[in-house]
A and B are shown apart, each in its own frame.
Chain A
Amino acid sequence: MSNHAKKPTILICDDEEGIRESFKLILEDNYDLRFATNGPEALEMLKTLSPALMMLDIKMPKVHGLEVLKQIKQLKPKLPVIIVTGYQSVEMAQEALRLGAADYIPKPFESISLQKIVSSLIK
């Protein structure tokens, strides 16, 4: 129980179950994972939750991922946010980094590289 409590928390925001389950497979052994299915839900969770890291999809219903990123940065400026998306455009990556994203991971991702990026940011 005490071990579980020590795990760093990661908030994952993605509208697709398959992606959320993939994150679970890759990260749940070492991290405490929380899930949101859209931007407003994630922002609501962030009011009471202080995760060590956040993974954010770009194309989501209701609010666009980059807009959510802007609001997260206002709410929690120090929270590292990784953008995970199927769009591999340089402009999008630049925009995400300009808005304060810590990293940008294209889909489909390698589980090993995802783990490395996450652990480097949480350290």
Chain B
Amino acid sequence: MIFNVYGLINLINAFCALTITSIIFFKKGRKPIQLTYGLFSLLLFFYGFFYWRWSSETDISNALYWFKLLMYPTCVIHVVYFHFSLEICNKIQSFKRILIVGYILCFLFVLLNHFNVLYDLQYVRSRLPFLFWPHALPQLGFLIAFEVLTVLFSFYVLSISARESFGLSKLRYKYLLGAGIIGWAGAATNWVHFYDTIFIPPLGNPMISVYLLFTFYLIFKHDLLGLDFAIKRTFVYTLLTLSISLTYALFVTLSERFFNAYIGYSSFIGSAFAALTIAIMFVPLRDAITTIIDKRFFGMSIQELSQENLQMRQRLQNQDRMKAVATLAAGMAHEIKNPLTSIKTFAEYLPKKYDDPEFREKFSRIVVDEVDRVNNIVKQLLEFSKPSPPDLKPVLVGDLLDQTLGLLNNNMVRYNIEAIKELDMFALVQADRNQLKQAFLNLFLNAIQSMRDGGKLHVSVRTEQGGKTRISISDTGSGMAPDQIQHAFDPFFTTKEDGTGLGLAIVHSIITKHGGKIEIQSELGKGTAVNVFFKSRD
């Protein structure tokens, strides 16, 4: 084996990627976003590891064996990166077909690699410090073009999301885009060596390390993958152990060489000496590395960082809240000023047109309706902004859903909607029965209103692992576009012609006041699924 600095950089990248992968895959209750990122890191690990093995080989057949293995993750990783970008931008539904096509193409390139038709095995030359770098076959050009297109498209998706969002999310997308550009630009420098062009060293490889550091920073500081604090801490200390192990390995190798070359002792004594030195130095070394990681990398200790993280979140949440208040005010303006206009005009014309029976009929109908409308808006707004504290009692949630759905039986028949129920009648949650009933009623009404031409309403209650109760209400109605999903819980945001836009905002407020979680999945023209999670009551 020979020493190749680019190989070593890739080996370090591989270990960092493996750390990220293991942490994500050992986490319970993984989300698709974490899984795709975990898969991406796993491929990055294989890429780095095989790169190191190939670049350190002195035997051509061994080198080409590792090179072939290296090309497998190369064929796939960019599409997994695209998949991850779609997951994090919540745009998977909009680009599902493109993603499937991407994976199919990946598979084709994997096959091409398997049958050795991507690069020329008869034309392997050295591109120092690399001893064996095969020349490209024309097919490789397609893989390069495919990778460039996929990565550029991922950047496009990330930049759109950055533009559409604000506060914390905007920051995340911006960082992720910046890190992605650095990492992929770095990786791209490797493609040049497949062609007989002027030699440019693959200096981009350290940029992959920068990408990993960036992502690591994002995961830690900006909660990129929603990992909790304990996991992040494990993360830091795994890296710490890795650094110590690498230092240890380096020290053992150097001391072995020293003892063999200059003193003539056997390898065993050298290793024993190194182990003893490391054992004595371990605590100060660990402390030194902890300080370096905490102070230099994060600029403060883990406790301080956690505190700053919390404060920054609060600041950004305040910004988000101000934006919500602005939306609320704009919505209020429209919802209240319209009825006020009618009431004002009718009142103004009352003395002049009092004797006109048609006017009196319209007056009593329109003015009363408009006053009711204003009253209703104010009531809902109060409910949204200051819901009464929930009166928590054990509630059989399956039974409550069944009863609430029963109230809407007439609407179900009228719009030809079939209800499919999968209710765990023993699922028990701690909740305010009336508030929960209101939340379910709003969700059912939304579902029914989206299926004016009939459809299926699927209601389920399941008790999941980890003591969670999952309530799912899905319809086959009109669905929502991705940008509408983002604003679905905003007050006064509505896609309905006659909606006030407060229904889902109230549902969200009720569920979160109960310590629960609510999420929406929807696709335009296909339907919407609302999932509500509560902690089960034992």
Chain A: interface secondary structure? loop
Question: B325-365: contact bitstring with A at CB < 8 Å (1 yes, 0 no)?
Answer: 00000100111111111111110110001000001001000
Does A41 reach chain B (CB closer than 8 Å)? no
State whether A107 and B366 are in contact (beta carbons under 8 Å apart), knowing that A15-B497, A89-B330 are contacts in the complex.
Answer: no
Q: Does A22 sit at the interface, judged by CB under 8 A?
A: yes
A contact residues around B348 at 8 Å (CB): 111
Residues of B within 8 A of A89 (CB): 330
Total contacts A to B, CB within 8 angstroms? Answer: 62
Cβ-closest chain A residue relative to B342: A18
Q: Which residue of chain A has the shortest Cβ distance to B330 in the bound complex? A: A87
**A residues less than 8 Å from B335 (CB atoms):** 86
Pick the contact of A86 from B338, B343, B359 — CB < 8 Å?
Answer: B338
Q: Are A86 and B334 in contact (CB under 8 A)?
A: yes
The minimal Cβ–Cβ distance linking A73 to chain B, given in whole angstroms, is 23
Partner of B337, one of A26, A61, A86: A86
Sorting the interface of chain B by its residue count into under 10, 10 to 19, 20 to 34 or 35 or more gives 20 to 34
What is the 8 Å Cβ interface bit string for chain A, positions 76-100, against chain B (1 contact, 0 not)?
0000000001111100000000000
Residues of B within 8 A of A109 (CB): 341
- The residue among B341, B343, B346, B370 with the most chain A CB atoms within 10 A of its own CB is B341
B340's partner among A17, A25, A87, A108 (CB-CB below 8 A) is A108
Q: Chain B nearest CB: distance from A38 CB in Å?
A: 9
CB of B369 closer than 8 Å to a CB of A? yes
- Decide if the interface of chain B is mainly helix, strand, loop or mixed: helix
Which A10-62 residues have a C-beta within 8 angstroms of B? 15-19, 21-22, 25-26, 59, 61-62
| A15 CB contacts on chain B under 8 angstroms | 497
- Provide the residues of chain B in CB contact with A59, threshold 8 Å: 334
Given the interface pairs A25-B353, A86-B333, A88-B333, the reply to whether A107 lies near B345 with Cβ below 8 Å is no
Distance, CA A18 to CA B368, complexed state (A) = 11
CB-contact partner of A19 in B341, B349, B369, under 8 A:
B341
A21 contact set on B, CB distance < 8 A: 342, 345-346, 362, 366
Interface residues of B in 210-253 (CB under 8 A from A): none
Once the chains bind, are B340 and A61 in contact (CB under 8 Å)?
no
Instruction: Give the shortest distance, in Å, between A69 (CB) and chain B (any CB).
Output: 17
Residues in A neighbouring B369, C-beta threshold 8 A = 18
B residues less than 8 Å from A108 (CB atoms): 337, 340-341, 344-345
Contacts of B366 in A (CB 8 A): 17-18, 21
Q: Which chain A residue has the least Cβ–Cβ distance from B348?
A: A111
27 contacts between A and B (CB under 8 A): A15-B497, A18-B366, A18-B370, A19-B342, A21-B342, A21-B362, A21-B366, A22-B342, A22-B344, A22-B345, A25-B345, A25-B359, A26-B345, A61-B497, A62-B497, A85-B334, A86-B333, A86-B335, A86-B336, A87-B333, A106-B337, A107-B337, A108-B337, A108-B345, A111-B345, A111-B348, A111-B349
